[in-house]
Structure 1
Amino acid sequence: MSINSLFEIVLVFSTIVILVSYHIHLYLKVRHDPLMTAIGITNHARRMWVNGIMKEKRDILAIQTLRNQLMAATFLASTAFLICIGSLNAAFRPGVFIEVSNAFNLLGTKTEALWMLKLMLLGIVFFITFFNFTLCIRYYNHVGFMINTFQQDDPSVSEEAVTHVLNHGALHYTIGMRGFYLSVSLALWLFGSIWMLAGSLVLVAVLYRLDREA
């Protein structure tokens, strides 16, 4: 094994460990101390919002708020799909892109096969991102019908049921946004594993702050 291949393996493995460790920490924080995280705070806020909407029967406000969320999710889903197609297209037509990539690759392997693998992984991440945003749209559409029934005696459209579906849609929205965030590391990997590691450290520092603010 060459020294460049060894550097590639070590730096990529370090990046994976950093990102996975942070998200395990975040998951445990949300589970055990949710109100100290942005995810827990917004889940609680949505629960209160559903309670107010259904008690006061403010159907117009509900539809306007859900419409804004749907528009954002639709835009992000379309963006993710376009980037996914672009990444896959670039993978099969390397051309000048691979030359620019190798010029910035200070440490690591410089093979066309690995470069294509990087782009394929980037495309897969954006496909998963697209899929999560479409699921988010699906759940928000369900909420649009459920929240306007105002049937407190029906458990399928109760306040708890509506909140559960709404937060489920928000979860897919959050996962979709994580896909955009994590794509930064994969995109930097195109220019070398050392850039990937550096970008991941900056990304985790930024996410650490964002995940603790509503």
Structure 2
Amino acid sequence: MQQLNWTESVFPVCTLLILLLYHVHYYFQVKRSPMQTAIGITQYLRTFWVETVMEQKRDILAVQTLRNWVMASSLLASTAVLISIGLLSYLFQQNRIIELPFSAYLIIGSTRNLDVLKILLLFLNFSFAFLNFTLSIRYYNHVNFMINVPLDRDDAVTVGYISRILNLGMLHYTLGMRAYYLAGPLLLWLFGPVWMLLGSVVLVGILYRIDRTA
């Protein structure tokens, strides 16, 4: 049984710390200075979009826009679940899960066990993406009905409430996309831990740019 190289232990931990520290920093930046982040700017502008649609009764615009978002989330959710099924199929066809005891996933002592862990992490990553995209579809469907209700119809129907529901849908969409981005370093890990670390550095650089421009 081939033992692990030290890089297989150190570099994945460094990758995790790099991605974790970046997202913790970005989270607090969104809280402190939302208008300097893409998430804060888009949330602010979506509130005005909801207000404009409801006050000017632009029903067709609302339906077409929400339809586009639902279609995008559906495509990404379908892709994520297909990749997840493919990863599970690969593991079961190779009889790798059946042959290895559960303790093998907790104590990684060989390259054989680590290969299984890499595939399982990819599966969990795309399953997380699928969950978030389906939740975003759920919130979009709620907004699709509520945004067409006249403002004077009920006190519960407010621009602020509908904007919060819409922003929840967009938050889950963003989390789903983050899972797709994270798949890059995880896939590079299959080629070696050095590639994984380099991929995480490149990913953080790309995220730093797109997270600060709407």
Give me the TM-score of the superposition, normalised by structure 2: 0.89
CA deviations 1:73-92 (Å, max 9, x no partner) are 00000001111111222233
Matches of 1:67 and 1:204 in 2, distance apart?
A: 31
Q: Is the 8 A contact 1:152 1:158 kept in 2?
A: no
Q: Is the 8 A contact 1:118 1:190 kept in 2?
A: yes
Matches of 2:202 and 2:21 in 1, distance apart?
A: 15
Deviation at 1:191, TM superposition (A): 1.1
Q: Name which of structure 1's ranges 86-95 and 145-154 shifts more when overlaid on structure 2.
A: 86-95
Matches of 1:164 and 1:155 in 2, distance apart?
A: 16
Q: Aligned with 1:157: secondary structure?
A: coil
* Mapped pair 1:69 → 2:69: yes
Q: Aligned with 1:156: secondary structure?
A: coil
Matches of 2:183 and 2:110 in 1, distance apart?
A: 20
- Look up the match of 2:138: 138
Deviation at 1:116, TM superposition (A): 1.0
Deviation at 1:9, TM superposition (A): 1.2
Q: Name which of structure 1's ranges 145-154 and 29-38 shifts more when overlaid on structure 2.
A: 145-154
* Mapped pair 1:25 → 2:25: yes
Q: Is the 8 A contact 1:149 1:157 kept in 2?
A: yes
- Look up the match of 2:104: none
Q: Aligned with 2:191: secondary structure?
A: coil
Unmatched tracts of structure 1, length 5 or more: 96-108
Q: Aligned with 2:6: secondary structure?
A: helix
Matches of 1:145 and 1:48 in 2, distance apart?
A: 18
Which amino acid in 2 is paired with 1:68?
A: N
Q: Is the 8 A contact 1:136 1:170 kept in 2?
A: yes
- Look up the match of 1:119: 119
Give me the TM-score of the superposition, normalised by structure 1: 0.89
CA deviations 1:92-128 (Å, max 9, x no partner) are 3459xxxxxxxxxxxxx86222101100110011001
Unmatched tracts of structure 2, length 5 or more: 96-108
Matches of 2:183 and 2:168 in 1, distance apart?
A: 23
Matched residues, percent identical?
A: 51
* Mapped pair 1:207 → 2:201: no
Q: Aligned with 1:143: secondary structure?
A: helix
